[in-house]
């Protein structure tokens, strides 16, 4: 293979406790630590391992978002990616628009494999990989926990309700990563310094000619209901009686 394209999204760090805006219009982002979406970081790690095995020549990372997304792309470069591309926009894009934007990058970069996380932890849509494959008219494997490349084909082990499923797809293809695919490497200071010299290209979203009109609108954002306080019972009989009273068991 000549090239793998890895898609990275800037999201609130998974260790940060999410807070909602008082007016319910969304999540508070001011002063919040932002990171690479964990599933995308796993996808990048897998691409780097494929390159280290000598199965691909170049790993390119790409992101869609504001200029602040350069921080996550620089992290990707520090992990070992060869170069980066940022499609810069201030708009909040829906998954279908993101997929169309990634397709424009695919046409531009001509990758043999596109790797991305199965979902982003901000909206949890789990749609972009499948939409990109449909628009590209190429096969895809999603929720992948093991991946191997053999010439012009990729074999993926993916988790399904009944257990594990093994699928083979012809390349080029789209693959989305699950948590169990690998554990991303730790970025060291020398790699961070080297990443500053690597190429990071910026493309204005408007140059791609993609319609960013939203099909949906978020009416409000509400926190989950607080859990009711538990109770203690003195015996199994009392427990069964309480479950019956709540309609949780028959009889």
User: Are 98 and 128 contacting, i.e. CB atoms less than 8 angstroms apart?
Assistant: yes
Rounded Cα distance, 9 and 63, in Å: 6
Rounded Cα distance, 26 and 39, in Å: 22
Instruction: Classify residue 29: in a domain, yes or no.
Output: yes
Rounded Cα distance, 199 and 212, in Å: 27
Range of the domain at 134: 3-226
Strands of 13-139, DSSP E:
34-36, 58-65, 83-88, 113-117
Instruction: Classify residue 234: in a domain, yes or no.
Output: no
Instruction: Classify residue 18: in a domain, yes or no.
Output: yes
pLDDT at 30: 85
Q: Pick the closest to residue 113 from 3, 237, 233, 224 (CA basis).
A: 3
pLDDT at 167: 94
| Sign (positive or negative) of CA dihedral 229, 233, 239, 242 | negative
| Sign (positive or negative) of CA dihedral 118, 161, 153, 127 | negative
Instruction: Classify residue 162: in a domain, yes or no.
Output: yes
Instruction: Classify residue 37: in a domain, yes or no.
Output: yes
Instruction: Classify residue 170: in a domain, yes or no.
Output: yes
CATH code, 70: 3.40.50.620
pLDDT at 23: 84
pLDDT at 19: 86
User: Are 78 and 194 contacting, i.e. CB atoms less than 8 angstroms apart?
Assistant: yes
Question: Per-residue confidence of the chain (251 residues) as pLDDT tens digits?
Answer: 999 999 999 999 988 888 888 887 788 888 889 999 999 999 999 999 999 999 999 999 999 999 999 999 999 999 999 999 999 999 889 999 999 999 999 999 999 999 999 999 988 889 999 999 999 999 999 999 999 999 899 999 998 888 899 999 999 999 999 999 999 999 989 999 999 999 999 999 999 999 888 888 888 888 888 888 888 889 999 999 888 888 888 76
Q: What is the pTM of this model?
A: 0.86
User: Are 11 and 34 contacting, i.e. CB atoms less than 8 angstroms apart?
Assistant: yes
Instruction: Classify residue 235: in a domain, yes or no.
Output: no
Q: How many structural domains are present in the chain?
A: 1
pLDDT at 251: 66
Rounded Cα distance, 11 and 154, in Å: 29
Task: Dig out the tokens for 204 from the structure.
Answer: 């204005």
Instruction: Classify residue 114: in a domain, yes or no.
Output: yes
pLDDT at 94: 92
Question: In Å, how far are 13, 60, 195, 234 from 19, measured between CA atoms?
Answer: 13, 33, 32, 38
User: Are 11 and 67 contacting, i.e. CB atoms less than 8 angstroms apart?
Assistant: no
User: Are 154 and 169 contacting, i.e. CB atoms less than 8 angstroms apart?
Assistant: yes
């Amino acid at each position: 293979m000549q090239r793998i394209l890895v898609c990275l999204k800037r999201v609130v760090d998974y260790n940060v406790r999410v807070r909602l805006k008082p007016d319910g219009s969304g999540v508070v982002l001011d002063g919040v630590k932002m990171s690479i979406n964990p599933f995308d970081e796993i996808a990048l790690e897998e691409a780097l391992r494929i390159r280290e095995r000598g199965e691909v020549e170049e790993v390119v990372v790409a992101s869609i978002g504001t200029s602040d997304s350069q921080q996550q792309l620089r992290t990707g470069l520090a992990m070992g990616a060869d170069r980066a591309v940022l499609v810069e926009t201030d708009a909040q894009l829906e998954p279908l628009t993101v997929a169309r934007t990634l397709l424009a990058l695919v046409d531009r970069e001509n990758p043999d494999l596109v790797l991305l996380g199965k979902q982003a932890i901000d909206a949890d849509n789990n749609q972009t990989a499948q939409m990109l494959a449909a628009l590209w008219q190429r096969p895809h494997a999603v929720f992948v926990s093991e991946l191997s490349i053999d010439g012009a084909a990729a074999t993926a082990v993916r988790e399904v309700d009944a257990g594990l499923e093994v699928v083979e797809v012809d390349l080029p293809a789209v693959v989305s990563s699950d948590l169990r695919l690998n554990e991303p490497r730790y970025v060291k200071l020398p790699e961070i310094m080297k990443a500053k010299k690597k190429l990071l290209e910026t493309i204005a979203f408007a140059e791609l000619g993609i319609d960013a009109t939203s099909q949906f609108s978020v009416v409000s954002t509400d926190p989950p209901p607080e859990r009711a306080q538990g109770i203690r019972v003195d015996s199994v009989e009392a427990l069964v009686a309480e479950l019956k009273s709540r309609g949780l068991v028959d009889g």
